[in-house]
Amino acid sequence: MTSGSEIVKDSQDGVRDRRIASLTQTLGDRSIVLVGFMGSGKTSTGRRLAQRLGLPFVDADVEIEAAAGMTIAEIFAKHGEPSFRDGERRVMARLLEDGPRVIATGGGAFLNEETRARIAKRGVSVWLKADPEVLWRRVRKRSHRPLLQSPDPEKTLRTLLEQRYPYYARADVTVISRDGPHELAVEEIICAIEFFMRFSPDPPPLTPSRPMNLSKTSAPAPISLATGEVLFDASGSPPGAAQGPDGRPPAAKVRVNLGARSYDILIASGLIAEAGGHIQRLAPGAACAIVTDANVAEIHLAGLEESLDKAGVRHSVVVVPPGETSKSFATFAEVCDAVIAAKLERGDLVIALGGGVIGDLAGFAAASIRRGMRFIQIPTSLLAQVDSSVGGKTGINSDHGKNLVGAFHQPSLVLADAHALETLPAREFRAGYAEVVKYGLIGDAGFFSWLQTHWRGVFSGGSDRVHAIATSCRAKAAIVARDEHERGDRALLNLGHTFGHALERINHYDGARLVHGEGVSIGMALAFRFSVKLGLCPCGDADRVEAHLREVGLPTRLADIKGLALDAGQIIEAMYQDKKVERGALTFILAREVGDCFVAKSVDAEEVRAFLQDELNTGI
């Protein structure tokens, strides 16, 4: 007779077997390629991963030694590193042709541009990322490492890490290599690959190899760290090109998968001038109402109207005052009345042309007029392009708090014109960048590492900017697809917002003193420091977050808000108006480390009060 426990075990095994079968079927002939520094556990973890998936395992270094008839140390000594790297490249090309399998690479393999392109085409790359202290502890007693044969091997290791981490960060997924059971790492890899395969496009075509100079900082190939999306310009130029032959930066398309309500996010320069064509194809014969503010209208409205005229799209315009004060009941009523007066029907469109305020306001109007009209987001700020225009959150403010009145109403299309960001004041761009950083902090340590290295490229434009926007949008799109109405892990997107919204409310939304992204920046730094105080997060991670935010010019401390008197009780009171409060209990997004945040419900208000008092007392 079969016991109940045996039935449960058989059921669990069946679920696991179906899960593995589904994953390997989705992989097809693509291999799983483990990349990372020496000592990150690629071989030991790879063996167990291959066993779990029922795939062959191969160690690229072992294959190189077999092909050469000598050890890697002997190859280095006899022929030098360039010869070894050439052999490594050829071995990797051969191994990738015989998938599916699990491949453990040497520490330098992923630095080769041709090898990266082949892996992108024939595999899924997984970066096993470990902290320098962990790596040094693992490799310091191993004398056979040729690259560590120096008077100060630890310094050499850290120098190599600085060179290599920006390249490892281009891997399709990142998994933290911790001390502990290999089975835990295997499970994290499988979950990460399942996520990647669900939301990634088909593999890109191979591109020819070009020489690479590690002595200079080079822009990374624009491959999404969260999902593997590869960005191409309109002419089909290969990844890594700052501009295509027509002088335009790369373009990207991100899909938000919501069944019948799915939509695309298009990211490129010049989309405002092309909007009429996109809208005409999306809704042939539809009219539209453009909702914008006076500042944006002065810069972008004429170009949008010209595009609509060329496409034969009838349109009207509603212009509201700029700033957070327009997210009010009074302005909402004005917009609704203007759209209705323009005789737009339910099948027509509302276009939100502007930043997050306009997107929230116009989207809520579209959700409400005639019980729901379609709308299009044309975000003109970085914050709106990477956050508020994606996911369908719309709404206005109440005297009691921010975004307390609204609805979930998904757009039909998002047109993120990267060139529009050139008109942003530097302060506004920095504020939007806080939301970009957020995506790295909540679930993509590799992306955060990439931002630390390439933030100047994001600020200056070109492929780095498009890459950062697309990575952020796809990360948010994936979360929205899993949790559209914020009943689960979509709440992670509020990292820093519980603190930030409270500060904005106390400040009465005075943008001269504090704008939203600055509040989020302070809030994220506070969330990491609070996590340290609770014993959840290493102090070094909080320091790393604060250092990067400060490096780009963002505030990280309560004392950075000049001229605003604060006390801990006042901040706590403002927090209780947050939408995430449940049954009178505070909810925060806290951190275990960079790239690993979680939703913490029922946080003790007195602990928060004590933490805030310490922050205020420190005054730095």
What CATH number does residue 91 fall under? 3.40.50.300
Which residue is associated with the tokens 């160690």? Answer: 59
> Active site residue: 327, 490, 579, 580, which one?
490
**What pLDDT is recorded for position 144?**
56
- Tell whether residue 11 is among the known ligand binding residues: no
| Mean pLDDT along residues 544-564 | 93
Residue 414 sits in the same domain as residue 485: no
Residue 72 sits in the same domain as residue 168: yes
- Tell whether residue 572 is among the known ligand binding residues: no
Residue 500 sits in the same domain as residue 401: no
435 is catalytic: yes
Residue 416 sits in the same domain as residue 493: no
Does residue 218 fall inside a structural domain?
no
| pLDDT of 217 above 50 | no
Does residue 153 fall inside a structural domain?
yes
What's the mean pLDDT when you consider all of the chain?
82
- In tens, the pLDDT along 566-614 reads 999 999 998 887 766 666 678 899 999 999 999 888 788 899 999 999 9
Does residue 415 fall inside a structural domain?
yes
| pLDDT of 368 above 80 | yes
In this structure, what CATH number is given to the domain that contains residue 508?
1.20.1090.10
| Mean pLDDT along residues 193-199 | 71
Does residue 399 fall inside a structural domain?
yes
In three-state secondary structure terms, 124 is strand
Residue 283 sits in the same domain as residue 414: yes
Residue 372 sits in the same domain as residue 512: no
315 is catalytic: no
Give the 3-state secondary structure of 369-429. Answer: HHHCCEEEEEECCHHHHHHHCCCCEEEEEECCEEEEEEEECCCCEEEEEHHHHHHCCHHHH
CB 109 within 8 A of CB 88: yes
501 is catalytic: yes
Last residue of a domain, one of 389, 405, 422: 422
> Active site residue: 494, 505, 518, 546, which one?
494
- Tell whether residue 85 is among the known ligand binding residues: yes
- Tell whether residue 358 is among the known ligand binding residues: yes
Residue 387 sits in the same domain as residue 499: no
Identify which has the larger pLDDT, 200 or 447: 447
Residue 257 sits in the same domain as residue 362: yes
- Tell whether residue 504 is among the known ligand binding residues: no
Q: Could you give the CA distance from residue 188 to residue 592 in angstroms, rounded to a whole number?
A: 15
Does residue 294 fall inside a structural domain?
yes
pLDDT-derived band at 5, boundaries 50, 70, 90: very low
Does residue 278 fall inside a structural domain?
yes
Residue 292 sits in the same domain as residue 174: no
| pLDDT of 359 above 90 | yes
**What pLDDT is recorded for position 353?**
97
121 is catalytic: no
Last residue of a domain, one of 401, 422, 443: 422
Does residue 272 fall inside a structural domain?
yes
CB 225 within 8 A of CB 471: yes
- Residues paired with residue 102 on neighbouring β-strands, in sequence order: 32, 57
497 is catalytic: yes
Domain hosting 592: range is 476-618
State the total domains in the chain.
3
- Tell whether residue 40 is among the known ligand binding residues: yes
> Active site residue: 122, 170, 327, 476, which one?
476
| pLDDT of 553 above 60 | yes
- Tell whether residue 357 is among the known ligand binding residues: yes
Last residue of a domain, one of 376, 392, 422: 422
371 is catalytic: yes
> Active site residue: 141, 213, 216, 371, which one?
371
Residue 508 sits in the same domain as residue 590: yes
Q: Is the pTM of this model over 0.95?
A: no
Q: Could you give the CA distance from residue 171 to residue 120 in angstroms, rounded to a whole number?
A: 9
Q: Could you give the CA distance from residue 365 to residue 356 in angstroms, rounded to a whole number?
A: 14
- Tell whether residue 39 is among the known ligand binding residues: yes
6 is catalytic: no
Classify the C-alpha dihedral 505-506-509-514 as positive or negative: negative
**What pLDDT is recorded for position 453?**
83
| pLDDT of 203 above 60 | no
In this structure, what CATH number is given to the domain that contains residue 416?
3.40.50.1970
> Active site residue: 30, 300, 501, 579, which one?
501
Residue 72 sits in the same domain as residue 145: yes
Residue 255 sits in the same domain as residue 188: no
> Active site residue: 30, 116, 393, 438, which one?
393
CA-nearest of 352, 411, 420, 350 to 382 is: 420
Task: Mention every residue, 6+ apart, whose C-beta is less than 8 A from residue 9.
Answer: none
Does residue 434 fall inside a structural domain?
no
